[in-house]
Structure 1
Amino acid sequence: MMRAWTLPMLFVLSGSAIATGLTSRGSPGTAAALLLAFLALAGVNSPLIFPRSICVQEARRRSAVDGRPVVFWRPGCKYCIRLRLQLGRSARQLHWVNIWRDPAGAAAVRATNDGNETVPTVVVAGQPHTNPDPGWVREQLSPSA
């Protein structure tokens, strides 16, 4: 789990260092603005913006019951972040598997993508789709979901 927080921590530390330097040089306004920008980058790249992840076995079981897609993702992936942000509240209807926390999930993604851990990989009705369009993913959610 530590590597999931490495990039956000680097953003916070870098932003803090830059803000401290700018404040000491007499630019507190610029320092505050840059610190807020770095904190926003840290937040977007953290696992906190994603719905709670489950293991691949549980995701497959739930998907078989309710028909909702399974999304394999990892923290810091810009395509995963794009998918998550563009799905908005609909993201809660999907089953999310963090491949950095679930080795079986990572293996499932490698099996689908010629040995590569390419994410996001979305499985709909047993068919994997690598880096699909967020609009298409939203369409795959049934109206009753």
Structure 2
Amino acid sequence: MADLTLYTTGWCGFCRRLKLQLDDAGIGYREIDIEREPDAVAFVEKANGGNRTVPTVVFPDESVATNPSFSEVKQRIGA
């Protein structure tokens, strides 16, 4: 089961870095590429004041963070 949901794009360097860090730490996540799933764009825009900013991360408690650091992610999930 995924601990997090990451809204990403294929070209986003910040997304790639966060995914690599999560993978290395063994932290599960569900990835949604907003360029492949158009319905996800509306969520990202709503979470980011109309902007398509990624990574947008949804935590298990349903709170959202935009481009969080790996340290912030670890802290917020208690890892």
TM over 0.5: yes
Structure with the higher helix share, 1 or 2: 1
Residue equivalent to 1:88? 23
Q: Residues 56-104 of structure 1, C-alpha deviation per residue, up to 9 Å, x if partnerless?
A: xxxxxxxxxx67221100011011011112223425x111111111111
Q: How do 1:36-115 residues align onto structure 2 when only pairs under 5 Å count?
A: 68-89=3-24, 90-91=26-27, 93-115=28-50
State TM-score, norm by structure 2. Answer: 0.81
- Greater Cα radius of gyration, structure 1 or 2: 1
**Residue segments in structure 1 that go unaligned for 5+ positions in a row:** 1-65
Identity of matched residues, %? 32
Q: Look up the SS of the partner of 1:79 in the other structure.
A: helix
Q: Look up the SS of the partner of 2:32 in the other structure.
A: strand
The structural deviation recorded for 1:142 is 5.8
Q: Look up the SS of the partner of 1:129 in the other structure.
A: strand
Residue equivalent to 2:69? 133
State the alpha-carbon separation in 2 of the partners of residues 94 and 139 from structure 1.
Answer: 15
Q: Look up the SS of the partner of 1:106 in the other structure.
A: helix
Q: How many residues align?
A: 77
Q: Residues 26-48 of structure 1, C-alpha deviation per residue, up to 9 Å, x if partnerless?
A: xxxxxxxxxxxxxxxxxxxxxxx
Contact 1:69 1:140 (C-alpha < 8 Å) held by counterparts: no
State TM-score, norm by structure 1. Answer: 0.47
Structure with the higher strand share, 1 or 2: 2
State the alpha-carbon separation in 2 of the partners of residues 88 and 70 from structure 1.
Answer: 13
Q: Aligned Cα RMSD in Å? A: 2.0
Contact 2:2 2:30 (C-alpha < 8 Å) held by counterparts: no
